[in-house]
Structure 1
Amino acid sequence: METPGTLSLEQQFKLEVLQKEVKRLTQEQAQAYLIELMRQNMVKDNLLKHWIKN
């Protein structure tokens, strides 16, 4: 099992693919994408906090 602070090979591959995709975005598209990622991450955090409490 991977340690929590490292990425699996599959995750590393996905990250490389994402890097290539992001390079093709305009600055406006990249900013919108970043904001959406942050929103999704916040939702994920909220779900984890809720599950830990219950």
Structure 2
Amino acid sequence: MSPETNLTLEQRLQVQIFETRTQDLSLEQAQEFLLEMFRQMLVKDNLFDKLTEG
């Protein structure tokens, strides 16, 4: 099963837009972008944990 199977139509469109916008990134830009995305995922996880605490 493809990971996109669980996405809504709007989310699949967002993925296509994201792909188009990131195609021309240099290697350095892509690495910086991935690092920032990972950092933001960790912040999101921490926020979610705080919101779901008893």
C-alpha displacement of 1:39:
0.6
Matches within 5 A, 1:1-54: 6-54=6-54
Name the Cα RMSD after superposition: 1.3
For 2:11 and 2:27, the matched residues in 1 are separated by 25
Higher relative contact order (CA 8 A, sep 6+): 2
Give deviations 1:3-38, integer Å, cap 9, x for gaps: xx8111111101111111111100100110001111
Question: Unaligned 5+ residue runs, structure 1?
Answer: none
Which residue type is aligned with residue 22 of structure 1? Answer: T
Identity within the alignment, %: 36
Moved over 4 A (4+): none
Question: Unaligned 5+ residue runs, structure 2?
Answer: none
Report the TM-score when normalising by structure 2: 0.83
Report the TM-score when normalising by structure 1: 0.83
Question: Secondary structure in 2 aligned to 1:24?
Answer: coil
